[in-house]
Amino acid sequence: MANVGQRLVLAFDFGTRRIGVAVGNELVASARELTPLMARDGIPDWQRVAALVDEWRPDLFVVGLPLELDGAELEMCVRARKFGKRLFGRFGVPCEMVDERGTTREAKTIARQRGHRGNYRDDGVDGIAAVLILESWFATCEGLPRNI
């Protein structure tokens, strides 16, 4: 595993039909979107996930936690946590959850600014949301010692 500050991170925007994916480098705190994963009732094709893990060799996973505006956790939070636990269980890579409130709305705004006018699911909003989740994680952790 890379030292703190030098880790490669894969981030996920969990959804029941699509799971947004982003990759980023902690050292430069930058992220970019990857092709979203299709899912059936929140279950991705684990072979595709394994291919991502093989390609990127992440030191950490970050999964967005879809909290309600008041901070309450509903069913999607339970499912996102379960997804994070499965990532850790299958690949042995540590996983952190991060508050993702507002990322979908912001991702839709970004997609519109990029000229996308159709169905937001077809316009890469999932990947944009995953980037926002990862950038949020980078910002939250800046300058903090992290033991993972």
Round to whole Å and give the CA distance between 141 and 5. 10
pLDDT at 147: 39
Q: Is CATH 3.40.50.970 what the domain over 8-141 is classified as, yes or no?
A: no
User: Which tokens sit at 84?
Assistant: 């994070």
pLDDT at 68: 80
In tens, the pLDDT along 122-131 reads: 556 888 899 9
Domain boundaries of the chain, sorted by first residue:
8-141
pLDDT at 141: 77
- Confidence band (pLDDT; 50, 70, 90) for 107? low
pLDDT at 84: 97
Q: What is the pTM of this model?
A: 0.84
Handedness of CA 36, 40, 41, 45 (dihedral sign): negative
